Chains A and B, each alone.
Chain A
Amino acid sequence: MSDSAIFYFLATVGLTLGVTFWAARRNRSRADYYVAGNRITGRQNGLAIAGDFMGATTFLGMTAMYLDNGVDQTAIYYVAPLAGFCLMLLFIAAPLRRAGKFTMGDVMSARLGSPALRVSAGLSTIAISIIYLVGQLVGAGALIAVLFGIGFTPAVIIVGLLMTIYVTIGGMLAATWVQIIKAALLLTLVVVIALLAIWQAGGIGALYDQAAAISPRGEALFVPGASDTGLFSSMSLAFGMAIGMLGLPHLLVRLFTVPDERAAQTSVIVATAIIGFVFLLLFAIVGPAAVAFVKNNPLFTAADGGIIGGANITSVHLAEALGGPVLMGITSAVAFATLLAVVAGLVMASASAAAHDLFAIFRRNKPLDEALELRVFRLAAGGIGIVAVLLAILFQHQNVAFLSALAFAVAASANVPVLLLILYWRPVTVAGALAGGLFGLVSSVALIILGPSVWVKIMGHEAAIFPSDYPALLTMPLALAVAIAVSLLGPRSAETAPAGQGRS
């Protein structure tokens, strides 16, 4: 690791820890810990959502994907989230903020007043967040091990320790500002890399000429549909990514940090604009620049013809090619901050669900003890951190690409149908919501296991039982249908209660 990389790495850790201890002095109530006291402005929250969403997959993974795939398939990963944010703005942002206080469980119980639904929402939040968290930690461990020359296990423990410190000490306020700082750093860095790439290539047309000349695929690098991905898989991937975002708990809880519905919508608009701008630069300039400056460059090519350190390091190599060791050091630090911000958001969402939704089972009708609930929150954050680190170490040699697909598919199939029905469809019952959520969870997990990535590549069977890795196009509408059918045909719930009667 170069001296500049060490300097920027330590500066990032120091800055984020400073923010955490600053936030800790301002946290007094559970509302401060869970939702930063609703004091985040719409614009700040938009930056934080952008920071929360643009993880290592965005900055590192998608550039790496462009290196081999070019435009093909990569475009879906760039367009789908923007469509998802538009849908979130239209259908989710304002009513969710209105109906909820701290967690998804609040929203679920606001209308139906069911403890069972609150517990179900809490479990779903924790399950999706841990799945997502393990995937991020495995990626983070591998990346940091390469970037900073340390082993996988210490790398994951460092990330796990930092994310737990941010959340247990600083709560949502610290997580928010870590995400805001990261979003600002990432935005600036991507602009600098894009400008340097165009300048050094001699114009954007020259950049594309250079990429086509270097890539073995030539001009076909810019031809969409060149891989053999089928129509169902493409559509289901795109559908799952866009719809799944509406059910990702760590994004949704960010909408509770602002004072009102208008600010929640402003958050989504600002986030969409920032993410759209960064995606535009990554797709149109940084991706082709990676091909032009990194692919086949002897400085970055291993003996086997691959990228030194793996394809996920492509962005860091590109920064070195364009701006030398200083830009490489900054890029490494931003990559590290990127990982920290996302995992902190995930721990935040799952710990608040554990303390606020699941702890309710034990509290029953006893009066609220905020101090006790906050102790549970901190313990839950620590426990979730330890579990996620252990799982990441356990899965370090496994193909974990399916974990992200699993998180999106489960969110799209288990959370979104229930959330939409609870927000918009009066006849929904507790039984219907539980049945729809359970069906979405079981069917999406089962079909991913039966799909090519797990059934064939991991479990070693000859052929997949379900032909696609992306089941959301099938499972989400079916889960919606199950929830509607059970609501209409099943028993009416005696637990149905007016809004506002859920626990808070």
Chain B
Amino acid sequence: MSKLEPAQLWRSLLILLIYAPIILAVGSAQFRDDGLATRLLGVPASVWIVCLSMVALVALAGRFANSAFTADDAVQP
């Protein structure tokens, strides 16, 4: 039985904080915003947002690597 640690829940909340707004912004007609086609350094703002969110998620995975596992949470019968 693995122990569900508060840190895991906080980290998953962090993932949702990055993930959910992106999904709302890019996925649904209710949140359409033509301003997101505005270019920044030649690249549309929408592309910047999606790419930065991808980078943030990969960085989070790397960050969690150092702390996601401890020997103390080994399976106990």
Contact = CB atoms under 8 A, between A and B. Distances in A.
Interface of A: 71-73, 75-76, 78-80, 82-83, 85-87, 89-91, 93-95, 98-99, 110-111, 203-206, 208-209, 219-220, 222-231, 233-235, 237-238, 242, 261-262, 265-266, 268-269, 272-273, 276-277, 279-280, 283-284, 423-424, 426, 498-500
A222 B46 contact: yes
A223 B55 contact: no
A272 B50 contact: no
Which A-B residue pairs are the 6 nearest by beta carbons? Answer: A205-B42, A234-B27, A225-B32, A222-B44, A224-B26, A276-B58
B interface majority secondary structure:
helix
Nearest to B60: A86
Interface in B39-63: 39, 41-44, 46-47, 50-51, 53-55, 57-58, 60-62
Q: Which of A79, A203, A227 has most chain B Cβ within 10 Å?
A: A79
A280 B27 CA distance: 18
B65 A266 contact: yes
A76 B68 contact: no
B46 A279 contact: no
B27 A273 contact: no
Given A87-B12, A225-B27, A280-B51, A208 B42 contact: yes
Given A89-B65, A238-B19, A280-B54, A75 B75 contact: no
Contacts of B31: 224-225
Nearest to B3: A424
Contact of A78 (B28, B54, B60, B69): B54
B57 A276 contact: yes
Contacts of A111: 1
Contacts of B37: 219-220, 222-223
Nearest to B23: A238
Nearest to A227: B29
Given A225-B28, A276-B57, 8 more contacts: A75-B46, A78-B50, A87-B15, A98-B75, A205-B39, A229-B28, A272-B61, A283-B50
Contacts of B18: 83
A280 B15 contact: no
A230 B44 CA distance: 23
Given A226-B32, A234-B23, A86 B46 contact: no
A224 B46 contact: yes
A499 B75 contact: yes
Given A72-B26, A280-B51, A224 B19 contact: no
